[in-house]
Amino acid sequence: MGLSLSSIGLGTYLGDESARTDAGYEASVAVALASGINVFDTAINYRGQRSERAIGRALASAFDEGRASRDEVFVSTKGGYLPHDSEDPRPGRRYVSESFLDTGIAPKDEIAQGCHCMAPGYLEDQIERSRRNLGLETIDLYYLHNVETQLEEIGRQAFRERLGRAIETLERAADAGKIAAWGFATWNGLRVPPEHPEHLSLASIWKIAGDVAGAGHRFRGVQLPVNLAMAHAVAFRSQQSPSSEKIRVSALEAATELGLGTFGSASLLQGRLAGELPEEVVLAFPEAATPARRALQFSRSAPGLTTALVGVSDVAHASENFGLAAIPPAEPDRILGIFDAGGN
């Protein structure tokens, strides 16, 4: 029987590159585990690799102290952007140049917009760095990070070719036990309509995965914004239905149809949804006592969403947000009713 994932997870995007923020995240991991939260999300480029390392230290401590075991937690990270290392004495540009460009690990002709690469050798390097940062033999879910950054620059045919090689690399990593599964973490790609230059089609990506690795491919999850201010994943039909080219469905519906895990980022929109909210939202979630909890209750209850991620590196905020795990998610009709009540 597989691991059950909590409907709320810890994200680690926010915060400065300091030991104080590291300590805040490590303490928040402890609060999360004590609250029944078992999903932890990060990326190698978050806070100059410090977020991965903070998660790694916090989980290692929890494992050593018996507060959790490795098979009870789910850890995801991302690769694609050229990351600096805040703990390396070299300036960021020099670190990136000497580590990835001068060595040829990131071929210069495969870097998009000066910041993004998904060449095979580069992904192999990034997976190894993330495994070291996290202190994990196997990463549960490894995302290609904002691949629409590539698409916007090189066009769809070249993008498909690069994507196919990236998928081959991820499948080899899965065969070697370095990752258990792979997916896509996007900001715009899954929310925008097919006519948009950054649009990503889940049905098309699923087909590419099958073409590369057969029916046994390890494409297992997607991450995209899901919050009160960015509800496209719930309410906008941005995707072709995997079962019919003539039907358009929301991103969450398409992902559910394919059996993908779905993870919502920016649940509180970097804290901007933790203030006063419209009356229809307050009325929709009487079980949530604070604005932050109401906004998070919306995200975690979105039909088809596996886990809503919330970034928090403060123990008080962690206790407030993760305490919501003791309350069941709202029924789907309450989520959809917000749009009717709000006139949208």
Residue 56 lies in a domain: yes
- Here the CATH number for the domain that contains residue 293 is 3.20.20.100
Residue linked to tokens 């900001």: 187
C-alpha distances (whole Å) from 111 to each of 154, 190, 334, 335 are: 10, 22, 44, 40
Residue 1 lies in a domain: no
Virtual torsion, Cα 297, 25, 91, 105, nearest 10 deg: -70
Residue 3 lies in a domain: no
* Per-residue pLDDT, 338: 80
How many structural domains comprise the chain? 1
* Per-residue pLDDT, 333: 87
d(Cα 122, Cα 126) in Å, to the nearest integer? 6
d(Cα 312, Cα 218) in Å, to the nearest integer? 30
* Per-residue pLDDT, 343: 44
Low-confidence ranges of the chain (pLDDT < 70): 1, 340-344
Instruction: Tell me how many degrees the CA angle 129-29-77 measures, rounded to the nearest 5.
Output: 30
**Domain limits for position 54:** 8-341
d(Cα 88, Cα 179) in Å, to the nearest integer? 26
For 57, phi and psi rounded to 5 degrees?
A: -65, -45
* Per-residue pLDDT, 340: 62
pTM over 0.95: yes
Residue 6 token pair: 């909590």
C-alpha distances (whole Å) from 94 to each of 89, 91, 115 are: 10, 5, 14
Residue 2 lies in a domain: no
Residue 280 lies in a domain: yes
Residue 153 lies in a domain: yes
Sequence-ordered list of residues with C-beta below 8 angstroms from that of 105, at least 6 positions apart, any chain: 99, 121, 122, 125
